[in-house]
Chains A and B, each alone.
Chain A
Amino acid sequence: MKTVKNAVGRWVPAEINGEKVIPFKGIGKHRPRGRKYAPHIVTSADYPPSGDKRVPSLKEALIRSGIKDGMVISTHHHLRDGDLVANQVFDIAAELGVKDLVWFPSASFPCHKEIIRHLESGVVHHIEGSMNGPLGKFTSEGKMKGTAVLRSHGGRYQALQDGEVKIDIAVLAAPTADPFGNGHGLEGPSACGGLGYALGDFQFAEKVIVITDNLVPFPCIPMQIIGNYVDYVVEMDKIGIPELIVSGTTQITRSPDRLLIAELTAKFCDAAGLVRDGFSFQMGAGGTSLSIGLFFHEMLKERGIKARFAVGGSTQYSAKMLEDGCLEYMLDAQTFDLEAVRSMRENRAKHPDISIFHCYDYHAKGNFTTMMDVMILGATEVDVNFNGNVVTHSDGYMLHGIGGWQNCLFAKCTILPVPLFRNRIPIIVDEVTTLVGPGELIDVIVTERGIAVNPRRQDLIDKVKHSGLPLKSIEELKEEAERICGKPQKPELGEKIVAAIKWVDGTVIDVVREVRNG
């Protein structure tokens, strides 16, 4: 395959799955022209005046939506590892003898390993979305027929809006819905909070199917899914497994080493003057970042000041912060635990659900990330040029999706609290295996053995240099990791490109190659 060198020095193909792609040109350099994509015009004359769009089964809905070979099928991910719907879609497609589908989920979870069967049999041609665990391993070993495409959450909306991906059928689970197709995630046995990732799916898909196990009479309020976009509504006994919907990650860390990293991160933010009245932040649901949130919360309480807003990833900890007045607004695109779901239900004015379009879309008239003061993110690798990787491990295996990670890099201060090594594998390396985020957007790396500030951020360096914090250069950190772990070998990778990594503007920033020495 013909490849070209992109603006971060990575060799990427000019074509993926038979479609032309644009190599990454640099941050803010790609400026597409033309109009946004839109599905076909429809008329209410074709929909029941009763507003009742129910059909008896998902199979019936898929048949009526005209499912056929080569279609792009999108699904939600808000039911996380407890999702019972997405696998069924492809089981039905297999039963109907449909081939070469493209699965376009907003994210995948280990429960979706069932799709491997359909990839092997040819029902699914390739996946465009995140690939976690078993699916990632399958893909890394070169077993997928087509090339996987990974996008950030914001990049997924951008791809839909710009017409890079055209969804034929969107299948969206709604924990509560009415027969017209309005839906939300606040109530019902499979309650999951906001449905902020599904906006692009119902706006841009040709056909939209809503699945629920908690049907209520019209109107279903709030209308997180807007029924006017919906073709069919399907009632099912059970759309999800509640204990797997609420993520198990929303506990602060108990590991003393991670707590140390969290404490250093909080101290760094304080020393850099970032924790002040009216500041804003975002962090994930991982144990380390939740602990950082707790440290922030204590600082705010102690000083009697407030954070103006947080974008989430909401959890029981952010709910507490909101309810004791230390946080004014929780803008929530993803609700991680039951306490957060309750908060969204009860504090609607201060804890609204927002969509990915609001917070992350790069081809919009601005988005929320650039306004955020502190952004806490993770990484599987960071290199000495501060480039970050979140999708592959150092052994070449692709095991994670991008999530909102690339979008979040645009915050005013992006901090990656990471251990220096995980089980002998250094996190700080000479060169990242996969370049998912350019170093010019990554400001600070906090490890248990020292903090490296990107030399591009002299302003931050000036603020913290007399703080007594353990500041080191990124090279020093890398050397320390190698002293402890030894210098790792490079994995032997094949020529075959198994996945393309898109940047937030739709250009290709890197690719993942087949693992050969597994």
Chain B
Amino acid sequence: MKTVCAGNFEKSDRSDCRIAMTVKKSGGIRISLNSKVAILYGAAIRETCEKILEFYGIDNAELQIDDSGAADYVIAARLEACIKQLIKTDKSWLPEILPQNMSGTERDRLRRSRLYLPGNSPKLAINAGLHSGDGIILDLEDSVAPDRKDEARILVRNTLRAVDFYGAERMVRINQGERGFEDLNALLPQYVNVILLPKCESAEQVRTVDAHIQKLRRECHIKIETWIMPIIESALGVMRALEIAGSSPNVVALAIGLEDYTADIAVPRTSEATESFFARSMVLNAAKACGLQAIDSVFSDVSDTEALYRNVRASRALGYDGMGCIHPRQIKVIHEAFAPDEAELEKAEKIVAAYREAEEKGLGVVAVGSKMIDAPVVKRALRVVELAKMMNKQGSRREKKA
């Protein structure tokens, strides 16, 4: 008899479980459970497993469950991943979806921070939304080992339904190629807000994915928007940034991935980042030319928050609107760095006040004191004031929800 496995049970894997499953010819369902929470949840774990096996019509099987406090939706995902290695089925056992996980997002919402979560590690997902990031990315691409892609997809699907992210935008980074379409088939019906396309190098790539997304949206009656964020991570992608940015009306932002980009141009990534100055400028200009947000690469030294702050300020100075994070503690720093500082805000408010006054009086010219203010300066000031307002609003809204 073939035995299959899914899930993780190493020392560092809290909130997860590993299930080993063998289908038998007779003997009914036998479950052997090794769990720290057996006294409190042993019966619940068995019940969940029995329900799922029944759902798939499996009457005889042996399960060995090694559990480190996995939530019900995790256990369900692990068991489903086992079952799908053993039998061919189109059925999926879906945990109940939280009503708040069906909400849509606006095109121009704040996307300062987006927190990457490895798709196959449940422990980081449960509390990820508490840290007030603008977005949460469940990653199926680089952070998931090739032989774990299928079980990760099932886990991410259940996570999108069962975990409350407290208002963060729900994003998924799908795989490249054919596997990416399988990811979309499973995840688009779960009301994902943004699909991240890794290693994007052409408009065609975006259009193919977008067409598939639109097909799935129609089939699944998804009414909320499904945005696309291509990630540009190669020299070719950089050179084609403009066509990628303009490839579909559903693209909301262009992101740049510098680890892969610097590898592609065969130079080390430095903290001065001169090697990527051209690429970042290209992506930024392409995004702005098409009215999109521009999102910078992650900063990988988690412990150095001061360097992160400087990095974000430099990124903001170039025109970027957001940055990826790999640790929750980076979120606050990124938000602070993207906020207009007080002097900047004060000046912008003065200009906006003068502009409104001029408007009221029907004057063609805006002046602060004796200084004449040009139209683009007014435009920038309006943007600064608006951003500050959004950030305050966003901040206090989260605080109440957390």
Q: Does B328 contact A (CB under 8 A)?
A: yes
Q: Does A423 contact B (CB under 8 A)?
A: yes
Partner of B402, one of A449, A486, A491, A492: A449
Q: Does A470 contact B (CB under 8 A)?
A: yes
Per-position 1/0 for B69-82, Cβ under 8 A of A:
11110000000000
> How near does chain B come to A482, taking the closest CB pair, in angstroms?
11
Contact check, B399 vs A425: say whether CB atoms are below 8 A apart: no
Contacts of B43 on A, CB cut-off 8 Å? Answer: 489
CA distance A423 to B15 in the complex (A): 6
Stretch from B123-131, B136-144, B201-209, B236-244 at the A interface: B123-131
Near B by CB (< 8 A), chain A positions 413-468 give 423-425, 448-450, 468
> How near does chain B come to A9, taking the closest CB pair, in angstroms?
23
Contact check, B68 vs A423: say whether CB atoms are below 8 A apart: yes
Q: Does A32 contact B (CB under 8 A)?
A: no
Contacts of A491 on B, CB cut-off 8 Å? Answer: 39-40
| Closest partner residue, chain A, to B67 (CB atom) | A424
Q: Does B393 contact A (CB under 8 A)?
A: no
CA distance A64 to B114 in the complex (A): 71
Q: Does B329 contact A (CB under 8 A)?
A: yes
Contacts of B44 on A, CB cut-off 8 Å? Answer: 486, 489
CA distance A38 to B68 in the complex (A): 51
> How near does chain B come to A416, taking the closest CB pair, in angstroms?
18
> How near does chain A come to B113, taking the closest CB pair, in angstroms?
13
Contacts of B69 on A, CB cut-off 8 Å? Answer: 423-425
Q: Does A256 contact B (CB under 8 A)?
A: yes
Contacts of A486 on B, CB cut-off 8 Å? Answer: 41, 44, 71-72
> How near does chain A come to B73, taking the closest CB pair, in angstroms?
10
Per-position 1/0 for B325-336, Cβ under 8 A of A:
001110000000
Contact check, B39 vs A517: say whether CB atoms are below 8 A apart: yes
Q: Does A257 contact B (CB under 8 A)?
A: yes
Q: Does A221 contact B (CB under 8 A)?
A: no
Known A-B contacts A448-B127, A486-B71, A489-B44; the reply to A423 vs B39 at CB < 8 A is no
Q: Does A518 contact B (CB under 8 A)?
A: yes
Q: Does A212 contact B (CB under 8 A)?
A: no
Q: Does B273 contact A (CB under 8 A)?
A: no
Per-position 1/0 for B366-402, Cβ under 8 A of A:
0000000000000000000000000000001001111
Q: Does B356 contact A (CB under 8 A)?
A: no
Q: Does B310 contact A (CB under 8 A)?
A: no
Partner of A424, one of B71, B329, B401: B71
Contact check, B39 vs A396: say whether CB atoms are below 8 A apart: yes
Q: Does A484 contact B (CB under 8 A)?
A: yes
Contact check, B15 vs A470: say whether CB atoms are below 8 A apart: no
> How near does chain B come to A257, taking the closest CB pair, in angstroms?
5
Contacts of B127 on A, CB cut-off 8 Å? Answer: 256-257, 448
| Closest partner residue, chain B, to A448 (CB atom) | B130
| Closest partner residue, chain B, to A517 (CB atom) | B39
Contacts of A468 on B, CB cut-off 8 Å? Answer: 396, 399-400
Near A by CB (< 8 A), chain B positions 4-26 give 14-15
Q: Does B350 contact A (CB under 8 A)?
A: no
Per-position 1/0 for A481-502, Cβ under 8 A of B:
0001110110110000000000
Partner of A449, one of B130, B131, B327: B130
Interface of A is mostly: loop
Q: Does A52 contact B (CB under 8 A)?
A: no
Contacts of A395 on B, CB cut-off 8 Å? Answer: 37, 39-40
Contact check, B41 vs A260: say whether CB atoms are below 8 A apart: no
Q: Does A394 contact B (CB under 8 A)?
A: yes
> How near does chain B come to A459, taking the closest CB pair, in angstroms?
23
Contacts of A259 on B, CB cut-off 8 Å? Answer: 329
Q: Does A469 contact B (CB under 8 A)?
A: yes
Contact check, B400 vs A425: say whether CB atoms are below 8 A apart: no
| Closest partner residue, chain B, to A261 (CB atom) | B130
Contact check, A425 vs B40: say whether CB atoms are below 8 A apart: yes
CA distance A260 to B132 in the complex (A): 11
Partner of B37, one of A396, A424, A470, A518: A424
Q: Does B347 contact A (CB under 8 A)?
A: no
Partner of B41, one of A424, A484, A517, A518: A424
Contact check, B37 vs A423: say whether CB atoms are below 8 A apart: yes
> How near does chain A come to B18, taking the closest CB pair, in angstroms?
15
Q: Does B291 contact A (CB under 8 A)?
A: no
Q: Does B179 contact A (CB under 8 A)?
A: no
Contacts of A489 on B, CB cut-off 8 Å? Answer: 39-44
| Closest partner residue, chain B, to A256 (CB atom) | B328
CA distance A260 to B399 in the complex (A): 11
Q: Does B36 contact A (CB under 8 A)?
A: yes
Contact check, A469 vs B399: say whether CB atoms are below 8 A apart: yes
Partner of B14, one of A423, A448, A492: A423
CA distance A13 to B310 in the complex (A): 65
Contacts of B72 on A, CB cut-off 8 Å? Answer: 486
Partner of B130, one of A257, A394, A396, A425: A257
Contact check, B71 vs A488: say whether CB atoms are below 8 A apart: no
| Closest partner residue, chain B, to A469 (CB atom) | B399
Partner of A256, one of B68, B126, B329, B396: B329
| Closest partner residue, chain B, to A263 (CB atom) | B332
CA distance A353 to B371 in the complex (A): 66
Contact check, B400 vs A470: say whether CB atoms are below 8 A apart: yes
Contact check, A424 vs B39: say whether CB atoms are below 8 A apart: no
CA distance A428 to B20 in the complex (A): 33
| Closest partner residue, chain A, to B44 (CB atom) | A486
> How near does chain A come to B60, taking the closest CB pair, in angstroms?
27
> How near does chain B come to A198, taking the closest CB pair, in angstroms?
36
Per-position 1/0 for A238-270, Cβ under 8 A of B:
000000000000000000110110000000000
Contacts of B126 on A, CB cut-off 8 Å? Answer: 484
Partner of A484, one of B71, B399, B401, B402: B71
Contacts of A256 on B, CB cut-off 8 Å? Answer: 127, 131, 327-329
> How near does chain B come to A259, taking the closest CB pair, in angstroms?
7
Contacts of B396 on A, CB cut-off 8 Å? Answer: 468
Contacts of A485 on B, CB cut-off 8 Å? Answer: 41, 71
Contact check, B71 vs A260: say whether CB atoms are below 8 A apart: no
CA distance A449 to B328 in the complex (A): 16
CA distance A492 to B72 in the complex (A): 22
Q: Other CB < 8 Å A-B pairs besides A260-B402, A423-B36, A468-B396, 14 of them?
A: A256-B329, A257-B328, A394-B40, A423-B68, A424-B37, A424-B70, A424-B71, A425-B40, A449-B130, A469-B399, A485-B71, A489-B39, A489-B42, A518-B39
> What are the 7 closest A-B residue pairs judged by CB atoms, nearest first?
A423-B69, A424-B69, A256-B328, A488-B40, A395-B39, A257-B127, A491-B39
Can you give 21 contacting A-B residue pairs, CB < 8 Å? A256-B131, A256-B329, A257-B130, A260-B131, A260-B402, A395-B37, A396-B39, A423-B69, A424-B37, A424-B40, A424-B41, A424-B70, A425-B69, A450-B402, A468-B399, A469-B399, A470-B399, A470-B400, A470-B401, A488-B37, A489-B41
